[in-house]
Chains A and B, each alone.
Chain A
Amino acid sequence: VSLEGFMEAFGIVAVAYFAALNGLYLVFTGVAWRSISRHLRRRRYDGADERFASPLTPGISILLPGFNEEAGIVASVRSLLRLRYPDFEIVVVSDGSTDGTLDRMREAFDLVPVRKVVRDALPTAGIRATYASRLHPALFVIDKANGGKADALNAGVNAATKPYVCAIDADAVIEEDALLRVAQPIIDDPERVIATGGIVRIANGCRIEDGAVAEVGLPKSRLATLQVVEYFRAFLVGRVGWSEMNALLIISGAFGVFQRDAVEAVGGWWTGTVGEDAELVVRLHRHMRERGEPYRIAFLPDPVCWTEAPEDLRTLSRQRRRWQRGLAQTLWRHRGAFGRPSHGAFGTIALPYFAIFELVGPVIEVVSYALLPVAVILGLLSPVYLVAFGVVALLLGLLLSVSALALEEFSFRRHPSGREVARMLLYAVDRQLRLSPAVRRMAADRPRRRAAPPHRLGRADAQGHRDAYSAPGPAAGLTPSGTSPSQPTSPPSAALLSTFSDSRPHFSRVALSSMPSSSRTKSLSRRSSSSTFMPLTSSEVSDALAWLIAQPWPENLRSATRLSASTEIVTFSSSPHSGLLSSYSRSGSRSRGGAGSNSWGACSARGSARGTGRPCVSLRRSGGPRRARRRAGRRRRAWSARRTTRGWCADAQALHQRLGAVVAGAHADATAARGSRRRRAGARSRARTRRARRGPRPRAGRTRSCRDVGEAVERVADDVDLVLAHGVPSRARGGSRPRRPGRPPRRSATCRPRTSRARRRSGSRRTTRG
């Protein structure tokens, strides 16, 4: 096949792809307008009040799975207790929490152990204990062994007593009437409707009080605002369209109601995927189609659930990759349903659509972008045609985004401010120009590492929720031998999870996600946009650092560099935005977890998987200038420290420099050690030979030992204490910097000589005077 032939064929595919995708979306837009208008008209005579009073409204068991949700669980449950619904119970499932989740619940709701019957309709990890509340008779807590979110939900189904179950994310903000709204299709048609879901909206920028959205606002972050527009398009257009065709493949994991019998009939949530919410819906479709039973899986356009969206590109990228992975797993598992006429629109339209446009689509788009200039250069494509096509594509995309936005504004109008609407319009344009290709590129970007074991993967949020379900899951998939004997046997103190006071604004929110020792994982990670994020107090930071210092580090950084796929992350920065201590974790995976995430996917014992059998540590960049980030991207295994030392806080800068010196050496070692492949292979071979001849030899030269790192961290810990004890001597605030006891005070910036010439002058003057 000639290049020209290939290009021509691919061009046809690309144009067909473009036409089909946009055509479908145009149809969906029309359908959505019709459907939402109808829905709004109906609300006039069948509102929430009617459903609340109706004797036909069925009971719902709300399932709230959580792992180490100590900080937010009480608020979440309180907000659920305020839900307006005539008959519901709340089943909180503590999925092997190792923090004070149960203690907080016990204190807040006066829990006492009860011998609650938990059926074995779905297989789950072992139930340890069950509790009921003295204050709220409809509140139950299940304490079970860790098994992952899907497993926790299955345990909740086993404990549920109502005919419907509602799966809720612990960090989602649910509106007071949400259950009544989302139950509408069930009340209307209980024989056929087996699952319903509602729209998920982005809570970034909203003011949340007592677990409820008090004021709707747009996020300050550009990326999050872009996602607001994207969500409108996905939910108000896409999901409404699929729902009308009864081919909805995804019901939000953050808020969805399912018929309990149906969930049990299909075997509950699948624990082997990162996209368990979508997988369950697809399985329900198949189950009902294969039995030929009439059914409906409905979507409600009412705003019911608020959740936070990633505000940085890296988290967004990770989130989208996980969605792709979950989608791929689901589609592969249900490949037998593809194109089957007996499966109706679900098998013949929805599944192929998701396979072609959602799964493979990003690849097609990236390849198309890459081939366009080639085609123009080869003369296969007229530049005029290319420009015209680009303009059409741009305008079409813009039309779809603006239509979704208009749909929102003419229907629910949750953003009443005209300024916000204008801003969203601008972002709709911006989205078309930037986000879509960017996100698709990210999605097309193959994960650099294998997927973590399924039970370790983060919250399967096919709708845009962050990966905050922080349970690491059991260590299945990690052999016991993979756990280093030198690993700490106890998880970090629960006291590490608490709140930074506002008096320390120079610290960004810092979290320590404590995990069972079996998972050999501990992370102290920064997630600025996470509500389940656990900020730390000064003593807790010290505790965390002390714990980390006490850990047996690898014998040298060079070896750890080679093992950096099992990255341990230590990142210090002085930026007021990223925080002094932005992340510090052990045995966390890097690109898909580690810093910035406390998801299940955050941690994989890759080091142990590689047979090292020992913990290792590395440092890496978590942000910084774009150029540096690009370089870090190219050198994924390089060690580096954050270079941002712009001196917002002099102490932070000092800390950074201290650690940076160690890190820079390590980085130089790593760079030198890398070289070319051949040189590396040769070096390894020679090293092996040397070792074989001479036995282990002491490390020397620039290689930094683990002790160096330990000492550096220790110094940093001291400084952290110092900073926290004496406050922030921010230049911006004009305060004085804290001093280490016994250390002479530094000169103030005003009297410090700024140039070498000035220093010489100053020195000579002093000399002269002396």
Chain B
Amino acid sequence: MGSHTAVPALLGALGDRDGEVRAAAATALGRLGTAEAATPLLVALTDGTVPRSVGGQALLALGDAGLDSVRALTGAEDVALRATAIDALGWIGGAADGPRLAGRLRDPAADVRARACAALGRLGAEEGAAALRAALGDRIPFVRAAAATALGRLADHDAIAALAAQAHGDEHAPAAAAATALARIAPAAVGVAAAAPGAGPHLREAADLLELAA
């Protein structure tokens, strides 16, 4: 019906003790596109009170209507809520959110940093490229991997050297991500790097896969 008069009741239903009711309420709120539903939906997603696929779809359906709330929650105190908000911003935000997300790359929580990297990559925010290059030196491997993947998506040519170094000498996950990113940004460089003696296995794999695709 699309009636906004149901919004308060639906928001209340997000706290229902029955999971099916909560899920149905989340779906309905997403369809209605009401801005005030964004925060409760993010909270519900974080708490796991609504299934993630349902909550995620509801947030996507909200789109721009929920953007302000989501932006505000990227600075929330709760780490999990912050991480979820950054994730959501990566889906519904825009390139203009780059600086906000780049700021989150210095977050004390590694999960938040990794999600910020992924969000920057999804949004294609070039403003975050420098911060992402810096994140290649993060002490947490999965953050480095996320940063490398994001740089690959951004096709940041300034990161080629850093990515090559990471692909050569880092742990498995960040090295694999760096090699894949390098293959996206500079396929020719991968071939050269892989041919060099002592090239890491990830560069060789990336070179082989590039050759295969060609």
Residues of A in contact with B (beta carbons under 8 Å apart): 38, 41-42, 45-46, 50-51, 53-57, 112-117, 119, 132, 134, 137, 161, 184, 187-192
Determine if B51 and A119 form an interchain contact, defined as CB atoms under 8 angstroms apart: no
Q: A469 to B10, alpha carbons, bound, how many Å? A: 52
Cα distance, A113 to B209, chains bound together (Å): 10
**Known contacts A50-B54, A113-B208, A132-B212, then 4 further A-B pairs from the complex at CB < 8 Å, ordered by chain A residue:** A46-B51, A51-B53, A115-B204, A117-B205
**With A114-B209, A132-B209, A134-B212 in contact, do A56 and B52 touch (Cβ < 8 Å)?**
yes
Shortest 4 CB-CB contacts between residues of A and residues of B: A114-B208, A188-B51, A115-B204, A54-B53
Interface with A: B20-28, B36-44, B125-133, which one? B20-28
Q: Is B202 an interface residue (CB 8 A)?
A: yes
11 contacts between A and B (CB under 8 A): A41-B20, A45-B27, A50-B57, A54-B53, A56-B52, A56-B56, A114-B212, A115-B205, A137-B213, A187-B51, A188-B54
| Pick from A46, A161, A191: contact of B54, CB under 8 Å | A46
A55-B54 in contact (CB<8A): no
Chain B residues with Cβ below 8 Å from A132 are: 208-209, 212
Q: Chain B, 3-37, contact with A by CB distance < 8 Å: what is the 0/1 string?
A: 00000000000000000100110010000000000
Bound complex: CA of A112 vs CA of B48, how far in Å? 44
Cβ of B172 < 8 Å from any Cβ of A? yes
Q: Which residue of B lies closest to A53 (CB)?
A: B57
In this complex, what residue of A is CB-closest to B48?
A189
Contact partners of A56 in chain B: CB under 8 A: 52-53, 56
Q: Given A50-B57, A117-B202, A132-B212, do A45 and B172 touch, yes or no (CB 8 Å)?
A: no
Contact (A42, B205) CB under 8 Å given A53-B57, A187-B52, A188-B52? no
Q: Is the CB of A112 within 8 A of B212?
A: yes
Within the assembled complex, what's the spacing in Å between the Cα atoms of A116 and B23?
42
Residues of B within 8 A of A192 (CB): 48
A137 and B212 alpha carbons, distance in the complex (Å): 9
Closest chain-B Cβ to A196's Cβ sits at a distance in Å of: 14
The answer, among B23, B52, B60, for a CB contact under 8 Å with A42, is B23
A54 to B27, CA, bound (A): 13
CA distance A132 to B201 in the complex (A): 16
Most buried by A among B20, B52, B53: B53
Chain A contacts for B85, CB-based, 8 A: none
Whether B172 and A119, one on each chain, are in contact in the complex, defined by CB atoms closer than 8 angstroms, is yes
Interface of B with A (CB < 8 Å)? Answer: 20, 23-24, 27, 48, 51-54, 56-57, 60, 91, 172, 176, 201-202, 204-205, 208-209, 212-213
Evaluate whether A190 and B52 lie within 8 angstroms (CB atoms) in the complex, with A55-B91, A137-B213 already known.
yes
* Inter-chain contacts of A187 with B (CB < 8 A): 51-53
Note all chain A residues with C-beta closer than 8 A to B20: 38, 41-42
Whole-angstrom distance between the Cβ of A441 and the nearest chain B Cβ = 44
Closest to B18 in A: A38
> Which A residues are CB-close (under 8 A) to B54?
45-46, 50, 188
A187 to B27, CA, bound (A): 16
A716 to B201, CA, bound (A): 56
Which residues of the partner chain B approach A184 to less than 8 Å between Cβ atoms? 53
CB < 8 Å neighbour of B53 from A38, A46, A117, A191? A46
A189:B52 contact, CB within 8 angstroms: yes
- The interface residues of chain A lying within 8 Å CB-to-CB of B201 are 115, 117
Q: A112-B212, A119-B172, A132-B208 are in contact. Are A45 and B24 (CB under 8 A)?
A: yes
What residues on A are CB-neighbors of B212 within 8 Å?
Answer: 112, 114, 132, 134, 137
CB-CB < 8 A to B27: which residues of A?
Answer: 45
Q: Cβ of A55: which chain B residues have Cβ within 8 Å of it?
A: 56, 60, 91
| Cα distance A211–B204 in the bound complex, in angstroms | 35
Find chain B residues with CB under 8 A from A113 CB. 208
* Alpha-carbon distance between A42 and B50 when the two chains are bound, in angstroms: 12
Chain A residues contacting B53 (CB-CB under 8 Å) are: 46, 50-51, 54, 56-57, 184, 187-188
Shortest CB distance A402–B (Å)? 28
Q: Which of B24, B52, B60, B172 meets A117, CB within 8 Å?
A: B172
